[in-house]
Amino acid sequence: MADPVKVDKVLDAKGLLCPMPVIKARKAIKEIALGQVLEVQATDKGAMKDFEAWSRQTGNELLDSSEAGGVYTFHIRKAKE
């Protein structure tokens, strides 16, 4: 079993529709240090594809993503300033 991810900041984007979860994540990731992890919680079904694409485009590392009870959770490691 993998060790749990150490989360440095949590962003609650539940109830927001595309593109707001990504816009808020972009702002939140600027507030953490290089190597730290941002957890994003969203309810928008499009968030899975949105965060995969956003991570690729920004160079930040999408560590994992999951869904439980309609809430999508993403762990993103800040890899670029």
Boundaries of every domain in the chain = 9-77
Question: Where in the sequence numbering do the catalytic residues fall?
Answer: 18
Query: What ranges make up the beta strands (E) of the chain?
Result: 9-13, 37-42, 61-68, 71-77
pLDDT score of 2: 58
| pTM for this entry | 0.93
DSSP state of 16: P
Q: pLDDT tens-digit profile of 24-69?
A: 999 999 999 999 999 999 999 999 999 999 999 999 999 999 999 9
Distance CA 32, CA 75 (A): 13
Which one, of 16, 4, 80, lies nearest residue 47 by Cα?
A: 16
pLDDT score of 71: 98
Determine the topology of domain 9-77 in CATH. Answer: Translation Initiation Factor IF3 (3.30.110)
